[in-house]
C-alpha cells in the first residue's frame, strides 16, 4: 500500500489554507472531470485522487490525522500487521465546486480506506447523508433583472432551474435531493447551483443600483435639453439642465434592479454624463465661438 501525498496531488503547501485547498481542488476537478475526458483513464484516476485528497484535507479532523500519519509513515509501515481495518463514520462534506459535477463517484484508494474509513461499511449507516453537488449557471444582467430558467442535465434526468427577478452573482440555489446518494432516498444530498451574472457592456451593478455612462453633445450641455436613455426596464426620457458639466450624475429612481425578495421594489439608475467637445469646427462655427468668447 503506497503512501498518498495529498498536498502534492492538489499542488498546495502543507500550510495551505482551506480556501487554497478548495481552489486547487476546483481547478483539478474541472480539468480532469470524466465528462470532459471520456475514455481517458489517466484523467479519471487523477480526478479520483483529487476527490480523495480534497476529502481528507478539507476536513479538519481528517487533515490532522493525515498530518500526524505523514510524519511517521515509514515507522507505521514497518510495524503494520494484517488485521481488520480501522474505520469511523464515513460521512463527509466535500463538494464538487465548479464545472459539471455530474458523473460517477469514485472509489477511494486502499490508503484512504485504511486510515479514513471504509465507504462500503459507512454506507450501512441508516442516517448517512449524501454529499452535495455544486455547479455554476451563467446568466445575463437582463436575465437577472427579469428572471429566467435553464435546463441542466443531471445523469439521466433533466432539471429545470428557475431564477427569480433580482438574482445576483454567487447566489446559491438549492435543489433538494438531487445530490449524491445517501443511506436512503430521503438522505440524498442536494444540488447547489451557483449563479454568475455576466459582465454587461453598458451597465455596472452595485447592489440594487445600476450605473451607466452617457455622452451628450456640447450644445445640449450648454443650452439644456432632453435625452433618451435605454434602461433594462425600457427607454426613459431625461431632462438635462442648462450648463451641465461633464461628470454630473443624474439619478432615476426605481430604474435599477428589482429586490430579490420583493420584486415590486427597485433600486435606482445613476447616469454619469460626459460632455463631448467637438474636435472639428467649420469656419463659421469658429467665428461664432470667438464672438461668444468675447462676450464672456
pLDDT at 219 over 80: yes
- Region 131-199: CATH code: 2.60.260.20
pLDDT in tens, 253-281: 999 999 998 989 999 999 999 999 888 88
Question: Could you give the 3-state DSSP secondary structure of residue 61?
Answer: helix
In 80-190, at which residue ranges do the beta strands (DSSP E only) sit?
96-97, 133-139, 148-154, 157-163, 172-175
Helix (H) or strand (E) holding 209: strand 209-217
What are the residues whose beta carbons fall under 8 Å from the beta carbon of 72, sequence distance 6 or more?
Answer: none
- How confident is the model over 128-137, as pLDDT tens digits? 778 888 889 9
- Quick one: fold of 1-125? Helix Hairpins (1.10.287)
> At residue 218, what are phi and psi to the nearest 5 degrees?
-60, -40
126 pLDDT exceeds 70? no
pLDDT tens figures, 175-189 = 999 888 877 888 888
- Cα(97)–Cα(133) distance, integer angstroms: 7
Q: Residue ranges per domain, the chain?
A: 1-125, 131-199, 204-279
pTM for the whole thing?
0.56
- What are the tens digits of pLDDT across the range 146-185? 999 999 888 788 999 999 999 999 999 999 998 888 778 8
Element (H, E) at 32: helix 18-32
Residue whose C-alpha is closest to residue 211's, from 231, 226, 182: 231
- 1-125 and 204-279 agree in CATH topology: no
What's 204-279's CATH class? mainly beta
Paired with 97 in beta bridges are: 134
Amino acid at each position: 500500500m503506497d503512501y498518498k501525498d495529498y498536498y502534492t496531488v492538489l499542488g498546495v503547501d502543507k500550510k495551505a489554507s482551506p480556501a487554497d485547498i478548495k481552489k486547487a481542488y476546483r481547478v483539478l476537478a474541472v480539468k480532469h472531470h470524466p465528462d470532459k475526458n471520456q475514455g481517458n483513464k489517466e484523467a479519471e484516476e487523477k480526478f479520483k485522487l483529487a476527490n480523495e485528497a480534497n476529502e481528507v484535507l478539507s476536513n479538519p479532523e481528517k487533515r490532522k490525522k493525515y498530518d500526524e500519519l505523514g510524519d511517521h509513515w515509514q515507522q507505521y509501515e514497518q510495524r503494520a500487521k494484517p488485521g481488520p481495518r480501522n474505520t469511523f463514520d464515513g460521512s463527509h462534506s466535500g463538494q464538487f465546486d465548479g464545472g459539471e459535477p455530474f458523473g460517477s463517484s469514485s472509489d477511494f484508494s486502499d490508503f484512504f480506506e485504511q486510515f479514513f474509513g471504509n465507504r462500503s461499511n459507512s454506507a450501512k449507516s441508516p442516517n448517512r447523508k449524501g454529499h452535495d453537488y455544486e455547479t455554476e449557471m451563467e446568466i445575463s444582467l437582463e436575465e437577472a433583472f427579469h428572471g429566467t430558467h435553464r435546463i441542466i442535465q443531471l445523469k439521466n434526468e433533466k432539471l429545470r432551474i428557475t431564477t427569480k427577478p433580482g438574482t445576483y452573482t454567487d447566489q446559491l440555489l438549492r435543489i433538494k435531493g438531487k445530490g449524491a446518494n445517501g443511506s436512503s432516498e430521503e438522505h440524498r444530498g442536494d444540488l447547489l447551483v451557483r449563479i454568475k451574472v455576466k459582465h454587461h457592456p453598458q451597465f455596472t451593478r452595485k447592489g440594487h443600483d445600476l450605473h451607466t455612462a452617457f455622452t451628450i453633445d456640447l450644445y445640449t450641455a450648454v443650452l439644456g435639453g432632453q435625452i433618451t436613455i435605454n434602461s433594462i426596464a425600457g427607454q426613459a426620457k431625461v431632462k438635462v439642465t442648462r450648463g451641465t458639466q461633464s461628470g454630473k450624475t443624474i439619478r432615476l429612481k426605481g430604474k435599477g434592479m428589482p429586490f430579490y425578495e420583493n420584486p415590486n421594489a427597485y433600486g435606482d439608475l445613476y447616469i454619469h454624463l460626459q460632455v463631448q467637445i467637438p474636435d472639428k469646427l467649420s469656419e463659421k462655427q469658429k467665428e461664432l465661438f470667438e464672438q461668444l468668447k468675447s462676450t464672456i
